[in-house]
A and B are shown apart, each in its own frame.
Chain A
Amino acid sequence: MTPSEILMIPINDWVNDFVRGFLVPNFRPFFRAMQVPVAGLLNALDALFAFIPMLVMTALFAVASWRAVGRGMALFTVIGLCFIDMIGLWAETMTTLSMIVTSVLFCAVIGIPAGILAARSDTTWRIMRPILDIMQTVPSFVYLVPIVMLFGVGMPPGIIATVIFALPPIIRMTNLGLRGVRADLVEAAESFGSTRWQMLWDVQFPLALRTIMAGLNQTLMLALSMVVIAALIGGGGLGLVVNTGLGRLDVGGATAGGIGIVILAIILDRISQGLAERGSDRTSLLSVLKGYVRPQRPATRTA
């Protein structure tokens, strides 16, 4: 005799009832409304990237690589982007780029404040932590279904799925970075009568910036890894190329899409990592940004 012979738990029915019978009828307008800002930003970026000529875009990326990493990376960027253009995937790449930028921006806008809240209160962190654990352990395919039920199909739901998938690292790393700021520095700021905002802005955030940037890099990479999956529910771009190729057993097409994703991933990864490392030298938001505009100058710190 096994437990299932005594009692069957109809968990699938429960979830179906909950989602179909409660969430969808009652909250559909709410979930639909959530898509508006996502769709707005996505369309704006998509239009912008489509508008910028391929050569100008390549030049912009090359300069960014050069500033953040170095000359070799700039060269790789130029060659990689030209290659993408030559295999005929430039437009798809730009669509993917706008999806990723949108996702990462939403992750930052949600994740950094969430991380700040988590760092400020142990209770908040205790509540948030298991949620993040679940978000990271549930396979991404699993929540595509409820997302489709709630949001429908198309690009914005794809972005929302990506945001959910890519959000945990930026929250975790913001929390970690802020909590890791030396206690005596926080004490010093407090002893001079700083408000919590002054402390956050002048001391904690700049000192945690490197860790936060590392979190942003991880988030970016997760967002990239989601493009193929998001294409299953209507996302476009390189993910769609891969999916279509697989669906039609067109190995060549799928490979081309895959190569495009890899090249884009390498470029974005190195640039964002370079940014994070810059953050460790300057450790102030403003000086990182300034350093990005001004020519590169070797760090002058001695131990």
Chain B
Amino acid sequence: METEAALLGVARIGRSPGSVVARLTARKAIRSGILWGYVFGVVVASSAISYVSIYKTQIARDHLEAAFGANHATSALFGPASQLQTVAGFTVFKASMTLMLLGAVWGLLISTRLLRGEEDAGRWEVLLGGQTTRSGATLQTVVGLAGGAATLWAITAIITVVAGLSSKVQISAGPALFLALALVATAVMWLAVGALTSQLAATRRQAAAYAATVLGVSYAVRMVADSGIGPNWLRWASPLGWVEELQPLTSPRPVALLPIVAFTAALSAVAVHLAGTRDLGTSTLPDRANATPHLQLLSGPVAMTMRLIRSTIVGWGVAISLTGLLVGLVAKAAGATISGSSVEQVFSRLGAPGTGTATYLGVSSLIVAVLIAFVAGGQVTAARAEEATGRLDHLLVRPVSRERWFAGRCLVAASGLVACGVLSGVSTWLGAASEHAGLGVDTMLGAGLNAVAPALCLLGIGLFTMGVWPRATSVSTYGVLGWSLLIEIVGGVGALNHWILDTSLFHQMSAAPAVPPNWATGGIMLLIGLGCMAAGAMAFKRRDLTGE
């Protein structure tokens, strides 16, 4: 099928040689843009609608503003909150950070896939055998990706405008369009980041990891800026900060579009230029194609799994540790600003009642849990990729039983997740302790481990799907993860009933250390995860190995 697509491309070159890559890319990017546009729109609309249904009176709204307005706890995590007494202000605050991050991840994944991924898969060889140069093909891909971004914006804008028509919401079309623009701005910038790292790195995975690192650094810089620790200009040092400076709906500053446009254009131009200066399948940064052999961790399937996922887990470990450290550092200052019934209400809906450092850390631990769940999702798709690419064949045709390989994958992945939890607990404790926040290392370690339970459950669900319905592995794993995340986001403003909330993995987790970890619930999630893995292993043993 892959070659078919490539051949299709070649056949089309015959008809209109100028734009075949652009159109092939645009088709894929637009399809994805439509899907994510709906997600973006739903998040925006649900934020606005839930606000007007919860905060009906002006008094309640003023209350919310008074409490959150200058609140470092929330602005460090979710960005600054302004004019929370209005639907507009609240909607921006509620939707921005989630969608900024989601958009950036979307952008970097799709651009590295359509640039580096296609090249790795050898499809570019076929296309370039035609009449396109490497620079030309990269430029066309960038144009195609821009089509995807435009679609993402259009769908988000339409839903936002429609939601704004509601007599209670009342956001007029112009500001709604600008809001949509602000929400997709990070997606656009990380499309460009991904385009650049696709040239720098030697593989798609590496390219995505580089782009994700840029995102992590941008988030960290912005977090320090928004928590009131650093100087004011610091926010201008982060692309995520530029997006915040757009201040859609509340006090729009289109001037902040300048750095965004310049950043995107510059990165894209450099990417196109670099594409022309390197050979197909090589990287701009030195890649050790010739390496002295490292024979450790190659003694069997389990050791080998450890070796394969080592760099991924280390990368996540560093990201999670840095997040923990930062969260810990700002915890005391931020926690002190949590007061007033509305903040407490929102935080307690997220499962973290009370005020102070522990409450703040409790909400933060939800974010850590989401990160660790992403690690779990990555482990599931990595296991499935071993099978789908046929690499697993080389192990299973040797004296390795399917159970042994599958159990090894489970064990190594689960250990990685637990390690992430420990790192998160210890690093948060380190950060908090350096500010004398007064929380014990055992408390924070407990909170870190507590945040692993949803990830272990997700790991089980994902590997179970891989056992029974391999081709649905990725969709079901990220489906469950996305659903849980969405419910948690929408549920945070309190518009959902108990039954729906309970379907979110993250809702099952207690927001330690704000409340003590509920080891019983955690244990149940762990058991569900283990049960799923066992059932998945049984099914995997009995079925045919399946390609893509």
- Tell me if chain B binds chain A: no
